[in-house]
Amino acid sequence: MLNRRLIFAATLVLAGGINGAALAQDKSIVVSSTTSTTDSGLFGHILPLFKQKTGIDVKVVSQGTGQALDTGRRGDSDAVFVHAKAQEEKFVAEGFGVKRFPVMYNDFILIGPKSDPAGVKGGKDITAALKTIKEKGAAFISRGDKSGTHTAELNLWKAAGIDIAKDKGDWYKEIGQGMGAALNTASASNGYVLSDRGTWLNFKNRGELDVIVEGDRRLFNQYGVILVNPEKHPHVKKELSQAFIDWLVSPEGQKAIADYKVNGQQLFFPNAGAPGA
Amino acid sequence: MPAGASALEMVLTGDPGLYSIVGLSLYVSLSAVALAAIVGFPLGAFLALVRFPGRGPLVVVINAFMGLPPVVVGLAVFLLLSRSGPLGFLGILFTPRAMIFAQALLVLPIIVALARQTIEDLWAEYRDELTAMGIGPAGRVATLLWDGRFSLVTTLLAGFGRAAAEVGTVMIVGGNIDGFTRMMTTAIALETSKGDLPLAIGLGLVLITLVIGVNAIAWGVRRVGELRAG
Amino acid sequence: MHGNFSDLPIEFAGASVRAGGVAILDRISLVIAPGAPTLLIGPNGSGKSTLIRLGMGLIAASEGRVLWGGRTSADGARCAMVFQRPVMLRRTAAANIDYALASTGVSRRARPKRIEQLLADVGLQALADRPARRLSGGEQQRLALARARARDPEVLFLDEPTASLDPAATKAVEDIVRATAAAGVKIVMATHDLGQARRLAGDIVFLVRGRVVEHAPAERFFTSPSTSEAAAFVRGDLVI
């Protein structure tokens, strides 16, 4: 008898909680995005502006690009905001997303120890730099987590004519973690690592690390935003999420992105509507 | 959280971001322990008092589950609560409710296992007396839970310690959403990934202080209670 | 709560209790009838405690049977028991009584008055709000008696309640036992203290190695025991 009463109480607590959660979600959407957008502080800058204008709360779950897309695929977010064009297009082609809107780009940079054991500092050619690192067997930290940055890194190895899956040795370390963790590892082990500029500028535990290669066009990193398809997941908050997407690509949203600076440096370059972006 | 601020500064200046994170941590972990206790105490009492086939193996499994990896629990709850999962219709993934639910599952084996042990020991002492008084099964459970209350507080603390310290489940099912599902442990993980190690350590110290505070309060309550009720 | 039927007499009909092939009680045939206190005496290990537990219904007979007022089950019987080392619930003295009252279905409203009376009967009214486990051994035993009486029993079993008490505390317990008996409650009490048996008993059940060797009115048992073992025990010889 006592047991039954307690179980009943527990059920009430749970049920009450669920109702409360449903109510609290009324004017909010969930966006799955990449660690780089969160860690760089961009969302901290633009989301309050959007909320002020529309009253909509954007809850950002920051994950690697692969996981963020998967979260959208499962219907656990209303929109995805990531940076891996090929994967994004596949996401839309498979019917999980409605349409991909290019929003902005930032760039990747090759980070490495100031001592530069591979001797590649100052160059503008990222593939040449990677070739040298491999030849000299200098330590290289890879995200190894199927994130956008990881995908970009793999594409660069390919562009350098290296089959990294086959050619990797002790010098190539896949850590399977986020950008910050990869930078922490590089800092602790004096390795090279490919990073997005935003995370790097916000990163505090730099130790002996510095920018080694930057400015190569192949290092540009395009972000896109996609509404999760309401036909697959009817609970998706279509209007609220589309309002967020529309704002991101509007002149107002684009200006907000351009205005975000760290130490006087602009991190993200809006390019909504740019052909081929 | 403002960049470059130290944890000490944030504590002293009453940083609202920090205080909401601390509040959420306490809310989620304490709720999870309460939920686990509501289910786990009667369950532990049941295991202590009732002999049935398969009880031995069940006790072993529950004892082993005290060490469940949080990530595994988080992943299981994630798959359960995901829109594509069996409980997806609830729509509570990436909310504090989901975190409470996941942590309650994580803590439940600890509560059940320790409560079972406590109540079994107490039952050995009380069996004859309660039988002589003709107390039925429900009354026995209630009596043993009440008379074991001071020892069971320790059970709750063990559960709370586990919940407050873990990052695996809440990161996965909560999503570490700023101002909504960010707790002490996920904030520490985030600051670590941002490379702000001093802030991460500072937040860690705040968390440890909190846990010590909760334990101190529980200890005080237990002392006073024991003095008054023996 | 209580039926209209009586639990007396309690009749042991060839009742045995075995544990691991050893007979702790061996074919006991005994009738416990209403009246003055029945005292169980005998050397250690003679089966006094087991007989009390059997009579209380805490254990079942391996052979034979026990009848309570002709019924084969002790369920719902108006029996209460005081153990040699009573377990005090982890609450105040008053709350211990309250618990026993609640267990017999006394309404919440009626309890405070009964608690006060029961505590006064055993001289513990001043200690009502003390944690029961902080009382002295003698006080705990008196509280156990009050708690047992709270169940308004027809039969009260006591298993060597004064075994670990000093003379003053023993006297207090005996006074309560006497008063309880005078109030019409049938007392069944184990003791290894012959003096206590003399002071309290109406009849004596003398046990040796799990068997009833003699069952007689107290006066006759002490003046002219009919068995040599009982005679030796009364003389103070060692009976094994």
pLDDT tens digits along B164-191: 999 999 999 999 998 899 999 999 998 8
| Residues A136-148 pLDDT 10s | 999 999 998 888 8
Cβ neighbours of A76 in B, within 8 Å:
82-84, 93-94
* Structural domain contains residue B171: yes
Instruction: Find the domain containing B67 and state its range.
Output: 16-183
Does residue B23 belong to any structural domain of this protein?
Answer: yes
A19 pLDDT higher than 50? no
Q: From the CB coordinates, do chains C and B have 3 or more pairs under 8 Å?
A: yes
Residue C97, domain member (yes or no): yes
CB contact under 8 A, A2 and B138: yes
User: Residues of A with CB below 8 A from B82's CB?
Assistant: 74-76
Residues A82 and A69: beta-carbon distance below 8 Å:
yes
Q: Is residue A275 part of a domain?
A: no
Of A5-9, A156-160, C80-84, minimum mean pLDDT range: A5-9
**Rounded-to-integer distance, Cα C33 and Cα C196, Å:** 21
Can you tell me the distance from the alpha carbon of A76 to that of A236, in angstroms, rounded to the nearest whole number?
A: 9
- For C81-134, the pLDDT digits (tens) are 999 999 999 999 999 999 999 999 999 999 999 999 999 999 999 999 999 999
**Domains of chain B: total:** 1
Strand A172-174, strand A140-142: pairing: parallel
Q: Which long-range contacts (CB under 8 A, 24 or more apart) does A160-164 make?
A: A160/A126, A160/A127, A160/A128, A160/A130, A160/A131, A160/A134, A161/A127, A161/A131, A162/A130, A162/A131, A162/A134
Complex ipTM value: 0.88
Same domain membership, residue A230 and residue A203: no
Please, which pLDDT band fits residue B230 given cuts at 50, 70 and 90?
low
Cis omega (within 30 of 0) on the bond before C9?
A: yes
Residue A182: how many CA atoms within 13 Å on its side-chain side? 33
Residue of B nearest to C134 (CA): B230
- Flag whether pLDDT at B62 surpasses 50: yes
Q: Mutate which of B119, B123, B129 to test chain C, going by most C C-beta atoms within 10 A?
A: B129
List helix spans (H) across chain A: 2-24, 35-39, 42-54, 65-73, 85-93, 126-136, 148-159, 164-167, 179-189, 197-202, 238-249, 251-259
Report how many domains make up chain A: 2
User: Has residue C4 been placed in a domain?
Assistant: no
Neighbours of B12 (CB within 10 A): 9
pLDDT for res C2: 46
B3 CB neighbours in chain A (<8 A) are 41, 202
Residue B5 confidence class, pLDDT cut points 50, 70, 90 = low
* DSSP H or E segment with residue C12: strand C10-19
In-domain check, residue A85: yes
Give the separation between CA B11 and CA B19, rounded to whole angstroms: 8
Query: How many Å apart are CA C78 and CA A97, to the nearest integer?
Result: 75
Residue B2 covered by a domain = no
Please indicate, yes or no, whether residues A21 and A79 belong to a single structural domain of this protein. yes
User: Of the ranges A39-43, A217-221, C175-179, which one carries the lowest mean pLDDT score?
Assistant: A39-43
Residues A196, A245 share a domain? no
pLDDT confidence tier of residue A22, bands split at 50, 70 and 90: very low
Q: Please check whether residue B102 is in contact with residue B36, taking contact to mean a CB–CB distance below 8 angstroms.
A: no
Chain B contact probe: residue of A3, A47, A206 with most B CBs at under 10 A: A3
Its domain, for residue C228, covers 10-235
| pLDDT of A5 higher than 60 | no
How do strand C155-159 and strand C79-82 relate by DSSP bridges?
A: parallel
Non-local CB neighbours of A152 within 8 Å, separated by 6+ positions: A83, A84, A108, A194, A219, A221
Note whether C128 and C93 are within 8 A (CB): yes
Q: Is B199 among the domain residues?
A: no
A276 within domain boundaries: no
CATH of the domain at A260: 3.40.190.10
Answer whether residue A20 is part of any domain: yes
pLDDT confidence band for C195 (50 / 70 / 90): very high
Same domain, A91 and A120: no
In whole angstroms, how far apart are CA B154 and each of B41, B144, B221? 13, 15, 11
| pLDDT tens digits for range B114-154 | 999 999 999 999 999 999 998 988 999 999 999 999 889 99
Q: Residue C4 has what pLDDT?
A: 55
Mean pLDDT of chain A: 88
**Residue A153 burial (CB count, 10 A):** 24
Lowest mean pLDDT among A35-39, A64-68, B149-153, C74-78: C74-78
What's the mean pLDDT in C176-204? 94
Number of domains in chain C: 1
List all residues of chain C from 14 to 33 with a beta carbon under 8 Å from chain B: none
Tell me, rounded to whole angstroms, the distance of Cα A94 from its chain centroid: 21
Q: Is residue C81 part of a domain?
A: yes
Residues A178 and A142 in one domain: yes
In this prediction, residue A23 carries a pLDDT of 46
A17 and A120 in one domain? no
| CATH number for the domain harbouring residue C137 | 3.40.50.300
Residue A2: its chain B contacts at CB < 8 A? Answer: 42, 138, 141-142
If you average pLDDT over every residue of chain B, what do you get?
Answer: 90
The residue segments making up the domain with residue A124 are 107-219
The pLDDT of residue C240 is 67
DSSP classification of residue A138: -
Please check whether residues A135 and A206 belong to one and the same domain: yes
One domain, residues A178 and A111: yes
Whether the per-residue pLDDT at C77 is higher than 80: the answer is: no
End-to-end distance of chain A based on CA atoms, in angstroms? 66
Q: What is the mean pLDDT of residues A52-72?
A: 92
Best probe of the B interface among C90, C98, C154, by most B CBs < 10 A, is C90
For chain C, give the percent of residues with pLDDT over 70: 97
Return the partners of chain B (3 or more C-beta pairs < 8 Å): A, C
Do A114 and A102 belong to one domain?
no
**Confidence check: pLDDT of A38 > 90:** no
Within a domain: residue C1? no
Q: Is residue A211 part of a domain?
A: yes
Position B11 in a domain = no
Asked whether residue A203 falls in the same domain as residue A249, the answer is: no
In a domain, A193, yes or no: yes
Residue A277 lies inside a defined structural domain of this protein: no
B3 interfacial to chain A (CB closer than 8 Å): yes
For position B82, what pLDDT does the model report? 93
- Contacting A residues, span 132-191, partner chain B, CB-CB under 8 Å: 177-181, 183-184, 187
Of A202, A219, A236, the last residue of a domain is A219
CB contact burial B120-129 (16+ within 10 A = b; e otherwise): bebbeebebb
Question: In this structure, is residue C240 part of a structural domain?
Answer: no
Q: Is residue B80 part of a domain?
A: yes
pLDDT at C57 over 60: yes
Per-residue pLDDT averaged across C63-71, rounded? 90
Residue C22 predicted with pLDDT over 60: yes
Q: Is B46 on the interface with A (CB under 8 A)?
A: yes
Of A25, A43, A74, the CB nearest to B83: A74
Amino acid at C111: R
A74/A154 same-domain check = no
CATH number at residue B79: 1.10.3720.10
CB contact under 8 A, B230 and C91: yes
A7 pLDDT higher than 70: no
Q: Could you tell me which of A46, A51, A49 has the C-alpha nearest to residue A33?
A: A46
